Amino acid sequence: MQVQLTINKKQHTLNLKGNETLLEVLRDHLSLTGTKTACQETECGTCTVMINGKAVLSCITLAANVQGEEITSIEGLAEGDVLHPVQQAFIDHGSVQCGFCIPGMIMSTVALLQKNPNPTQEEIEYGLDGNICRCAGYPKIFEAVREAGKKMIK
Amino acid sequence: MALTTKSKYADNYVDPVGKSVPRIEGRGIVTGQLKYVFDVQMANMLVGKMLRSPHAHARIISIDTSKAEALPGVKAIVTAKDTYQIKFGSNEYFFPHTVDQMALESEKVRYIGDEVAAVAAVDDETADEALRLIDVKYEVLPGVFEIEEAMKPGAPQIHEALNNIALILPVNFNNPERMMKEADLVREDKFWCPVAHPSPMEPHVCVGQWETFTNKITLWSSSQAPFKCREALAKTLKMDLNDVRVIKMAVGGGFGGKLEMLPMDFAACLLSKKAGGLPVKICLTREEEFTTTRRKHGMIYKVKTGVKKDGTILAMTGEVLADGGAYCSYGPTVLAAAMMRIFMVYKIQHFKMTGYRVYTNNPISGAMRGFGGVQSGFAIESHMDLIAKDLGMDPIEFRLKNITEPNMTTVNKMILTTNGLRECIEKALVASDWANKHGKMKHLKRGLGIGIAADVMGSKMYKSHESAGAIVKVEEDGSVYFFTGAADTGQGSNTALSQIAAQELGVSFSRIKCKSGDTEITPFDTGSFASRVTFISGNASLLAGRDAKRQILEIVAKDKNLDVEEIDIRAEKVVFKKDARLIMSFDKALELCYSFHYGKQIIGRGSYNPKTTPIDFRSGEGNVSGSYGFEAQIAEVEVDTDTGVVKVLELWDAHDIGRAINPQSCEGQIEGSLAMGLGYTFYEDLRFKNGRVLNPNFAGYRVPRSIGIPKMNSIMVETNDPEGPFGAKGMGEAALLPTSAAIANAVEDAIGVRIKELPITPDKIIKALKEKQGTQ
């Protein structure tokens, strides 16, 4: 079947069987390998992308079901050379260790801050609880989220 | 000809060492452009999968692959018949008899998940179908799953080892029996340390390609030790080292689990050969990751200590029983570390402990961050608090009376030079307000607990040496290429080592381009383990920077008719050592090196092997490390006595790191270790039933998540070790070692109950509270 997807503001026409997840389409069909997965069963948050501004797990989203929706992956956050404030904050605050969880963590953060740029510590913790960082760099991730939020208000 | 007129580096120069420069890979990570082996896509790449034993213990009667081979889309199938059947293992230097695993088994399987065959096919579904079509006939054997059961005579025999004991490790010094008699108090405790799993976010993944015409192999592997992987591949495939190239890309975490070649690495190469040289990618599922890679050893830890009334420790004895699972892996050295770390921490002269590493039909135990020290850390540091309580002493006062000092030789001949343990304890004490809080918050059901620890900066594992090499290549435009064999697995070693090389060369950090972990291009390095990289690979990086600098200075000295000994490169400038007077800029010096007259390539090299003595495992003697790191940790908890839930309110970790090369990365290591320690204390518990893992996923096996991470305070104690690069020591593991004990000790301070079996769960707290009420 032919499927039309809007990913990072770009139109893609794909020939799919219909049972492909959005994760598979991003990584295997479009070579957008910035989106990772660590479990493929909704438990780790690593595959998080945004659909219409909401954080969504791409490992259980059927690609054919999100035609016409606004899909954003980690590759679509920066504007040219200029990083999104969340991306920049993750670098500046040393929030990245191995980095494998970070694309998903950043997508969850952007979704959280777009709704609520000044979250409380509790709101940050709940907002990111679906995303595992096994290096467990959480304190520096929390710092980055707070600082990025301040920049997004400005 | 001037290639550069003005240096963009000189104006913004800051000393690279001691500065929290952002990760070299930072921009690649946050934009999703950094490539992991997980992301590798190649033309005509095949999907590889492993066929695993469904039985915990069984004899293989026959393997029939004919139906699978006939399936369209299947490109290769390999079984033990296609191999030389050479065993591999990880402690071959010290314990050659523990090299006990085949890449593909042909006679017996010893755990659920043991590899018997591998397939390569055009896609996922075909590979899965091929696995289903391979017909393996087994004769199921009785299995044994508990340590003490496995040791009984007559228990099912897993390997040849008598009573399934792969290794008995005695550590004996002087006369503990006699000293116990002289003690005013003798206390004995028994602890259970459960099984944790490294479970890095990027699962084990590799791409193998066998160039069939040249007979060369390339393996892209998510590895902590590419050179170790190369060695095992070459050995088991009967090839020369230089026929095998292992390339480490960005690694999505390791935590000890990626220190070895696994059967999948071997199979990917062999499948590629059979498939005519097409690349084969094998990526484990999360369930395979949890069940078939390497896990922490579950340990029964028994310890008995005799002390004088004034708190002086006279003697210690004990026994450690470790569940090794089906194969040895790094088990022997993990067991040794679990018993011998104590000598770095406490002055003990009379000691006798015996360790048993026992085969069971459970999944394979091996290395995991902390390397035996997490188990001993929980047992010993809980035990120390219990002794202090029996003596009526403050637990800190008791520890201060017995801890090791700077410039001493321990009973097992470890040479401790710089030792900031006392300072760490004192700083943690002040920061946590111990004096006003410990024992004084029972009415709030709050408490404070301490744990202390020490760690090595490297340790020989699989070779007689543990050297690291580095190369610093300076080009004519002043760009600096830095090559290290060290494997950055996310801890930030590419960045820290580049900082060290830049500092020694005298240039800005931003000049450095780092290439790491490629066995064909970068110098040898044993790998990322034992907190060794900053110290050992760091020293090699420093020496390479120094060598390159010397070559530049020799040209400048010759050209300007100066004595090379009186000049130096500092902050992007060639200067006189005595008064820092400018001779020329770094860029000018490079123009000179690459000029018509000199045409001198600048290629600096560094090789470092720490000054250690080989450990003698018959006695436990040996100076295993060139430097030692120390730390003290304090936890503050609050217990809800209705629900049994323990909440950690705050953690303090004072850490002798020698010198912080990159303070932000050091904090990241400490915070990550503390969080992992919280996980081990409260919920990380891989459970088995008849050899089957009951919770092989992130839903069943909880790891630390953002909710429940308390405030963490990292306190750097800089002892400037003269042997370390710019004074630095390693620090990737130590902060994980005492966390469980600090928390268990804090729980006792808060509510007066003692948990000796991890994890500390609400039901254990409630049960302990009930028992306490019952006895009152």
Query: DSSP per residue over B689-750, as a string?
Result: ETTEES--STTTS----STT--EEEEEEE----TTSGGG----SSGGGSSHHHHHHHHHHHH
Instruction: Say what the pLDDT of residue B6 is.
Output: 60
Are A136 and B27 inside 8 Å of each other by CB? no
Give residue for tokens 């026959």.
B62
Are B200 and A101 inside 8 Å of each other by CB? no
d(CA B31, CA A74): 6
Query: What is the total count of domains within chain A?
Result: 2
Q: Using CB atoms, pick whichever of A78, A98, A126 lies closest to residue B201.
A: A98
Q: Which amino acid is at B745?
A: N
Residue A49 structure tokens = 């992308």
Same domain, A20 and A55: yes
d(CA B439, CA B241): 60
Q: Using CB atoms, pick whichever of B34, B697, B712 lies closest to residue A99.
A: B34
Q: Using CB atoms, pick whichever of A41, A91, A131 lies closest to residue B697.
A: A41
In a domain, A55, yes or no: yes
Instruction: Say what the pLDDT of residue B752 is.
Output: 98
In a domain, A117, yes or no: yes
Query: Which of A75, A94, A124 is the endpoint of a domain?
Result: A75
In a domain, A25, yes or no: yes
Instruction: Say what the pLDDT of residue B387 is.
Output: 98
What does DSSP say about strands B711-717 and B645-656: parallel, antiparallel, or unpaired?
parallel
Same domain, A34 and A71: yes
Name the B residues in 474-533 with CB < 8 Å from any A CB.
489-492
Are B490 and A133 inside 8 Å of each other by CB? no
Contact (CB, 8 A) for B235 and B88: yes
Domain that holds residue A48: 2-75
Are A77 and B31 inside 8 Å of each other by CB? yes
DSSP, residue by residue, B307-344 = E-TTS-EEEEEEEEEEEEETS-TTHHHHHHHHHHTHHH
Contact (CB, 8 A) for B688 and B663: no
Same domain, A40 and A96: no
Contact (CB, 8 A) for B533 and B629: no
Select from B129, B145, B6 the least CA-distant residue to B73: B129
d(CA B295, CA B530): 16
d(CA A39, CA B724): 40
Are A38 and B255 inside 8 Å of each other by CB? no
Are B32 and A135 inside 8 Å of each other by CB? no
Same domain, A43 and A108: no
Same domain, A51 and A99: no
Are A38 and B489 inside 8 Å of each other by CB? no
Contact (CB, 8 A) for B348 and B383: no
Same domain, A69 and A31: yes
**Alpha carbon separation from B170 to B300, B351, B526, B618, B730 (Å, rounded):** 16, 10, 27, 7, 28
Q: Which amino acid is at B109?
A: V
Residues of chain B contacting A88 with CB distance shorter than 8 Å:
30
d(CA B328, CA B87): 11
CB pairs under 8 A between A and B: 170
In a domain, A69, yes or no: yes
List residues bridging with B616 in a β-sheet: B621
Are B201 and A38 inside 8 Å of each other by CB? yes
SS3 B641: coil
Give residue for tokens 């008064």.
B579
CATH code of the domain covering residue A109: 1.10.150.120
**Structural domains of chain B sorted by starting position, each given as residue range(s) with its CATH number in brackets:** 8-34+467-608 (3.30.365.10), 40-141+210-237+260-275 (3.90.1170.50), 298-460+615-775 (3.30.365.10)
Which of B38, B197, B199, B201 is the best mutation test for A, with the most CBs of A within 10 A? B201
d(CA B731, CA B534): 8
Q: Using CB atoms, pick whichever of A31, A90, A124 lies closest to residue B30.
A: A90
CATH code of the domain covering residue A7: 3.10.20.30
Same domain, A7 and A68: yes
d(CA A137, CA A145): 12
Residue B129: φ, ψ to 5°: -65, -40
Residues of chain B contacting A35 with CB distance shorter than 8 Å:
32
In a domain, A102, yes or no: yes
Instruction: Say what the pLDDT of residue B234 is.
Output: 97
pLDDT, averaged in runs of 10, over chain B (776 residues): 62 95 98 98 97 98 98 98 96 92 97 98 98 98 98 97 96 97 98 98 98 96 97 97 97 97 98 98 98 98 98 98 98 96 97 98 98 98 98 98 98 97 98 98 98 94 90 96 97 98 98 96 96 97 98 98 98 97 97 97 98 86 95 98 98 98 98 98 98 98 97 98 97 95 98 98 98 85
Which of B248, B706, B736 is the best mutation test for A, with the most CBs of A within 10 A? B706
Q: Does B703 touch chain A (CB under 8 A)?
A: yes
Which of B30, B258, B289 is the best mutation test for A, with the most CBs of A within 10 A? B30
Angle (nearest 5°) at CA B540 between B535 and B543: 120
Are A103 and B492 inside 8 Å of each other by CB? no
Same domain, A70 and A38: yes
CA quadruple B637, B197, B712, B428: dihedral sign: positive
Same domain, A95 and A66: no
Same domain, A48 and A6: yes
Q: Is B618 exposed, middle or buried (0-12, 13-18, 19+ CB in 10 A)?
A: exposed
Contact (CB, 8 A) for B381 and B373: no
Residues of chain B contacting A78 with CB distance shorter than 8 Å:
31
Instruction: Say what the pLDDT of residue B615 is.
Output: 84
Distance in Å from the first CA to the final CA of chain A: 45
In a domain, A146, yes or no: yes
DSSP, residue by residue, B409-428 = E-TT--EE-S--HHHHHHHH
Residues of chain B contacting A73 with CB distance shorter than 8 Å:
32
In chain A, the residue whose alpha carbon lies closest to the alpha carbon of B708 is A125
Residues of chain B contacting A75 with CB distance shorter than 8 Å:
31-33
Chain B: nearest CA to A49, how far in angstroms? 12
Contact (CB, 8 A) for A116 and B181: no
Instruction: Say what the pLDDT of residue B4 is.
Output: 47
Select from B384, B300, B333, B381 the least CA-distant residue to B620: B333
Are A44 and B255 inside 8 Å of each other by CB? no
Report the residue count for chain A.
Answer: 154
Are A99 and B39 inside 8 Å of each other by CB? no
Name the B residues in 20-59 with CB < 8 Å from any A CB.
20, 22-23, 25-36, 38-39, 41
d(CA B632, CA B655): 7
d(CA B769, CA B764): 8
Torsion of CA B205, B211, B215, B219, to 10 degrees: -20
Are B707 and A129 inside 8 Å of each other by CB? yes
In a domain, A71, yes or no: yes
Instruction: Say what the pLDDT of residue A77 is.
Output: 98
Residues of chain A contacting B491 with CB distance shorter than 8 Å:
97
Name the B residues in 179-218 with CB < 8 Å from any A CB.
199-203
In chain B, the residue whose alpha carbon lies closest to the alpha carbon of A28 is B41
Q: Using CB atoms, pick whichever of A38, A73, A96 lies closest to residue B29.
A: A96
d(CA B369, CA B268): 27
Are B201 and A35 inside 8 Å of each other by CB? no
Are A136 and B201 inside 8 Å of each other by CB? no
Same domain, A66 and A7: yes
Q: Does B647 touch chain A (CB under 8 A)?
A: no
In chain A, the residue whose alpha carbon lies closest to the alpha carbon of B285 is A39
- H or E element: which one contains B129? helix B124-133
Query: Which of A27, A57, A75 is the endpoint of a domain?
Result: A75
Residue B568 structure tokens = 């130096």
What does DSSP say about strands A2-7 and A70-72: parallel, antiparallel, or unpaired?
parallel
Q: Using CB atoms, pick whichever of B28, B32, B705 lies closest to residue A35.
A: B32
Contact (CB, 8 A) for B728 and B666: no
Are A136 and B30 inside 8 Å of each other by CB? no
In a domain, A80, yes or no: no
pLDDT tens-place string over residues A75-101: 999 999 999 999 999 999 999 999 999
- What's chain A's average pLDDT? 97
pLDDT, averaged in runs of 10, over chain A (154 residues): 97 97 98 97 97 98 97 97 98 98 98 98 97 96 98 91
What's the pTM?
A: 0.97
d(CA B388, CA B311): 8
Residues of chain B contacting A74 with CB distance shorter than 8 Å:
30-32
Contact (CB, 8 A) for B328 and B158: no
In chain B, the residue whose alpha carbon lies closest to the alpha carbon of A123 is B707
Instruction: Say what the pLDDT of residue B153 is.
Output: 96
Q: What DSSP character marks residue B524?
A: P
Residue A72: φ, ψ to 5°: -120, 125
Instruction: Say what the pLDDT of residue B692 is.
Output: 98
SS3 B155: coil
Chain B: nearest CA to A152, how far in angstroms? 17
Query: Which of A39, A57, A75 is the endpoint of a domain?
Result: A75
Chain A: nearest CA to B612, how far in angstroms? 30
Same domain, A66 and A9: yes
Instruction: Say what the pLDDT of residue B1 is.
Output: 40
**Alpha carbon separation from A7 to A45, B154, B576, B759 (Å, rounded):** 19, 63, 59, 44
Distance in Å from the first CA to the final CA of chain B: 90
**Alpha carbon separation from B191 to B188, B450, B598, B684, B759 (Å, rounded):** 10, 18, 68, 16, 11
In chain A, the residue whose alpha carbon lies closest to the alpha carbon of B712 is A139
